[in-house]
Amino acid sequence: MSLIIRGLILTIMAGLLVGSAEAWSAAKRRVLVAGGSTEIEIFSLDLTTGALKKEGVGSIRPGTPGGSPYLAWDPGQRFLFSLDRLDPSRVVSLAISQNKSSLKLINRVEIGPGSPPHLSVHKSGRWVLVVHYNPTDGGYASVLPIGPEGMLGAPQGRIPVGLKSHMIISDPSGRFAFVPCTNSHYIAQYIFDASSGKLRPNDPPTAAAPKGAGPRHMAFHPTLPLAYVINETASTLSSYLYNPDRGTLSKPETLDTLPPTFDRKQNTTAHILVSPSGKFVYGSNRGHDSIVIFSVDPQTGRLQRIGWEQAGGRIKTPRNFAVDPGEQFLLVANQDSDSVIVFRIGEDGGLSPLGDAVPTGPKPTFIGVLDPL
């Protein structure tokens, strides 16, 4: 075979491969689900129909029973990081395959005492931030370095935070970090040094939540200087003004996440998300078993509650949910029915369930949608 013909064949094959990757990227997303087992399930999400199909599975460790209640990944989507609630607790690093259909264990690092409910990856891709707590001496935040091949290093110290520290998230600039502390009824505010991985208290060190609110999770608006916090104990959602120069929250305005006739003693909230466009805010109710929907005023950022979605009673303990990057679908993990329901997002932010619930592993407590391949 001549070099010219061989070159033509290789060019055509490369073009077909690129075309195939582009078709996959345009038509599908990868969805990760984790919860009450050591397995992390990998699904494909069809962006035309909203159908979920299981494609693969990974594991945070062999043998011993346990769970991986929360996941996060680096900006390049090369590495996946999972919590592991063994005693002592650990953070697990896994390599994501090129086609995002399989995972390979890299290493596991102990983070010390307490149960870890949440972790996140800094926008630099260099650090994993994690919180863990126990009933006796409160909560902690730890920062772990990410090596060039996804290898996690030892925590860069451990700092005490408030009681039941339930989430750690950095702001869009990456200069500040926040920890909603459910039983201390405040959000701890930190300055983050991205070169050393050190956290130090901001001034002021905390932002107060409404009395008895129990702040659990928070999310930033993509364009407005606002942050939204869902309050587990009070079943409310608070909108905070955010000062991006100082990294501080202030002046919360609070709305109920429940209908006025529902007994709030029978409910706790869990997760909150702002849609990629910034037009809508969603929160999950456990007890009422619903996703509450708020519209966002594009000028002021003020919230207006526009309704609830229960999927005809098919939502069961929605501890976690996700919105795809294209804002077409919202996916709810049903912790108490071992399933996921996919909803199409309407122009008004409303949710329409698509098909039957998709079975998952036991007690799904995390669901996330990766960016296109």
pTM (whole model) above 0.85: yes
The full set of domain ranges for the chain reads 29-60+310-373
pLDDT tens-digit readout, 208-217: 999 999 999 9
For 59, 70, 328, the CA distances from 281, given in Å and listed in that order, are 32, 21, 14
pLDDT tens-digit readout, 22-54: 344 568 899 999 999 999 999 999 999 999 999
Question: So what's the pLDDT on residue 69?
Answer: 82
Statement: residue 78 has pLDDT above 50: yes
Long-range contacts from 325-331, C-beta under 8 angstroms, 24+ separation: 325/29, 325/276, 325/369, 325/371, 325/372, 326/47, 326/276, 327/275, 327/276, 327/277, 328/47, 328/50, 329/45, 329/47, 329/50, 329/354, 329/369, 330/282, 330/291, 331/31, 331/45, 331/52, 331/367, 331/369
For 180, 187, 214, 217, the CA distances from 165, given in Å and listed in that order, are 6, 9, 10, 10
Provide CB contacts within 8 A for 238, sequence distance 6+.
Answer: 209, 210, 213, 215, 228, 229, 231, 252, 253, 254
Statement: residue 20 has pLDDT above 70: no
